[in-house]
């Protein structure tokens, strides 16, 4: 049986399936693997079941490496040095599709929470500071009929657009490096624009759904935040490095934009300290796919990739 090392705890049902099929080493105490532990795993296992928290750097692909496949638990694969994996013939897989809806749900949750100031209100209530209803208390922004700009119209971007347009009557504008399918644009009565700089001033809400590539590092910087409406909100459920977190903090502090909702951060689990002090930002700890149904589906997708790989077949979610 191939030896598989799993770097974090997974849903119990998935760990059971893995243990039935492979010689599995589980991370019983669920600690984040150190670089040394990752190196040892590379040398002692046939497969590494990694997550987005594991930095799979080029030096791990040394002459002593035994690993033949990195089966990543998550849709993103920016934590893996894909060039080194290709050079050393190591397969890399991810788990697309199955987390689309839950991530879109969370993006909509953040959008609504920002607009209606629900997190701020809950904190006030729990502190015992609420003195009762009044006409000017925690007045937020209406969502119905507002303009939502989506940066990256892949699966999750389209799923959010459907929720926003069909559920909340929002106008959809989008930017993507590729042409969005005409039938999707028709369904959503959406407009695709030619540049990000054209998109941002149009929006009441901006939601990010693009990958964390080198070109997208700090895609949303001080200048682009400055191009947004002062009444606009920024939502990020994609990857932290897409946003210049300090620039965002400065903009929120000066009320250059109305607010933000963040699920991901530049240096997870660390957050720019200034953000923690602000009421006009909703902060959640990378919960995009965090439902039992989705996490189980992600794990079973990993199992399918491993099954196919060790059977000598093409894994369905191959990234290299």
Q: Identify the active-site residue in 12, 64, 268, 293.
A: 268
Check if 239 is active-site.
yes
Query: What number of CA atoms fall less than 13 Å from residue 141's CA on the CB side?
Result: 20
Spatial contact of 153 and 176, defined as CB atoms under 8 Å apart? yes
Residues 6+ apart with CB under 8 A from 119: 113, 282
Q: Identify the active-site residue in 239, 245, 295, 301.
A: 239
Query: What DSSP designation does 167 have?
Result: I
Q: Is 134 exposed, middle or buried (0-12, 13-18, 19+ CB in 10 A)?
A: exposed
Report the 10 Å Cβ neighbour count for 74: 20
Check if 268 is active-site.
yes
Q: Identify the active-site residue in 286, 296, 304, 308.
A: 286
Residues 6+ apart with CB under 8 A from 306: 2, 4, 21, 22, 47, 49, 69, 71, 315
Q: Any idea which residues carry the catalytic annotation?
A: 239, 268, 286
């Amino acid at each position: 049986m191939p030896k598989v090392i799993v770097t974090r705890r997974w849903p119990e049902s998935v760990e059971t399936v893995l243990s039935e099929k492979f010689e599995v080493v589980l991370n019983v105490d669920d600690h984040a693997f150190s670089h040394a532990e990752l190196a040892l795993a590379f040398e002692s296992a046939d497969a590494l079941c990694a997550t987005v928290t594991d930095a799979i750097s080029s030096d791990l692909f040394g002459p002593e490496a035994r690993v033949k496949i990195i089966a990543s638990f998550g849709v993103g694969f920016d934590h893996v040095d894909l060039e080194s994996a290709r050079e050393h013939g190591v397969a890399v897989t991810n788990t697309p599709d199955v987390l689309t809806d839950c991530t879109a749900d969370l993006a909509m949750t953040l959008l609504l929470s920002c607009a209606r100031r629900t997190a701020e209100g809950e904190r006030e209530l729990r502190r015992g500071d609420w003195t009762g209803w009044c006409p000017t208390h925690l007045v937020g922004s209406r969502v119905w009929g507002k303009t939502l700009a989506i940066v990256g119209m892949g699966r999750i971007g389209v799923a959010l657009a459907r929720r926003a347009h069909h559920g909340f009557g929002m106008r959809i504008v989008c930017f993507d490096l590729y042409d969005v399918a005409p039938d999707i644009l028709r369904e959503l009565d959406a407009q695709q624009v030619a540049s990000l700089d054209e998109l941002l001033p149009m929006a009441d809400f901006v939601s990010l759904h693009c990958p964390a590539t080198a070109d997208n590092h700090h895609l949303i910087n001080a200048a682009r935040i400055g191009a947004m409406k002062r009444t606009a909100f920024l939502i990020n459920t994609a990857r932290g490095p897409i946003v210049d977190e300090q620039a965002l903090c400065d903009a929120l502090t000066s009320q250059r934009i109305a607010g933000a909702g963040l699920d991901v951060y530049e240096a997870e689990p660390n957050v720019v300290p200034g953000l923690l002090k602000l009421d006009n930002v909703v902060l959640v700890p990378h919960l995009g796919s965090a439902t039992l149904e989705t996490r189980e589906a992600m794990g079973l997708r990993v199992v399918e990739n491993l099954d196919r790989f060790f059977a000598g077949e093409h894994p369905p979610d191959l990234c290299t």
